[in-house]
Structure 1
Amino acid sequence: MITCTKKYFDIPFAHRQHLHDGHCSFVHGHNWDIFVTFACENLDENGFVVDFGKLKFLKEWIDLHLDHACVLASSDPLKDKLVSAAPEAWNVYEVDSCSCEGLARHLLEVFDSLVRKNSNGRVWVCKLEVSEDKKNSATAYGKNS
């Protein structure tokens, strides 16, 4: 197996950790970084795991779902109330858990599916790291790691 990593920096989005007993229970924002590590057994005809120039589908996904969005947990009891108060003001993306760890796991699953589809199964995501304001991070590892 051989790997390479693509880094996406300074993606602004908010989240709310509704189960937290401190200030993280309020809607608040960060600049996030996402580091995606790709893996394969056989390099392509150019000698690449992936051609970084052909990963636009990941950047487009990030721009559509995360850029200036608010990530909320599906189980957040205030989610519908927050959004219905001013629906035109929200770009909400729902996940099981919007902690750094939950985001790493979720994004690994989403990106792995997209990468496998776009590479006809030759490449997979073996690791995905999410960094919150360059201070805190969490890493999820794929099943093929």
Structure 2
Amino acid sequence: MIYITRKEHFNAAHKLYREDWSKEKNEEVFGICSNANWHGHNYDLYVTIKGEINEETGFVIDLKVLKDIIIENVVDKLDHKNINLDVDFMKGKMASTEILAVEIWKQLEPHIVVRGAQLHCIKLYETVNNYVEYFGE
């Protein structure tokens, strides 16, 4: 088994806010991240694939194919968008980095499996100091 990782980048805005809570409770729990005027991040996304090396190609997955899968199914949907309002796979969900990582997994996994590899990990950096890792569990 070998692991290979592709890094991509996108910029997106969001806010952490529950409609069923008061403005005061949202501010208490989410602080400035509940700002009515939103806020943005420069996200770095690491997608790690695992599998056996194909003897004919020497690849687990062609990295150009992996890049295209990530761009089409994730980056194009998120880049320069409002996660809460513009992203189909985030409709009705809290736009936390944790939930975003899980939903990104769901967008990518079917496209990886059909190519004979397995999605191992999504690592999503929200800032240089904060990131989430999700292993599909």
Higher strand content, 1 or 2: 1
Where does residue 106 of structure 1 map in the other structure? 103
Counterparts of 2:65 and 2:87 in 1: how far apart (Å)? 27
Q: Does 1:43 align with 2:69?
A: no
Equivalent residues of 2:17, 2:94 under 8 A apart: no
What TM-score comes out, normalization by structure 1 length? 0.74
Q: How many residues align?
A: 121
Name which structure has the greater RCO, CA cutoff 8 Å, separation 6+: 2
Tell whether the 8 Å contact from 2:89 to 2:103 is kept in structure 1 after alignment.
no
The code of the aligned residue for 1:43 comes to: I
Deviation at 1:94, TM superposition (A): 4.6
Change in 2 beyond 3 A, CA 1:114/1:65 = same
> Is the alpha carbon distance of 1:92 and 1:54 closer, same or farther for their aligned partners in structure 2, counting shifts above 3 Å?
closer
Q: Name whichever structure is richer in helix by fraction.
A: 2
- Tell me which moved more, 46-55 or 122-131: 46-55
Shift in Å, 1:141 = 0.4
Contact 1:17 1:24 (C-alpha < 8 Å) held by counterparts: yes
Aligned partner of residue 53 in structure 1, secondary structure: helix
State the secondary structure of the residue aligned to 1:12: strand
CA distance in 2, matches of 1:38, 1:67: 22
User: Alignment identity in percent?
Assistant: 28
Return the alpha-carbon distance in structure 2 between the equivalents of residues 57 and 4 of structure 1.
15
Q: Distance in 2 between matches of 1:107 and 1:141?
A: 11
Backbone CA RMSD of aligned residues: 1.8
Residue 97 of structure 1, CA deviation: 2.9
Is 2:124 the counterpart of 1:130? yes
- 2:41 corresponds to: 30
**Gap regions ≥5 residues in structure 1:** 73-82, 84-90
Cα distance in 2, alignment partners of residues 140 and 114 from structure 1: 17
Please list every run of 5 or more consecutive structure 2 residues that lacks an aligned counterpart in the other structure.
19-25
Instruction: Decide which moves more: 99-108 or 16-25.
Output: 16-25
CA contact (8 A) 2:12 2:80 kept: yes
The one-letter amino acid of 1:3's match is: Y
TM-score normalised by L of structure 2:
0.78
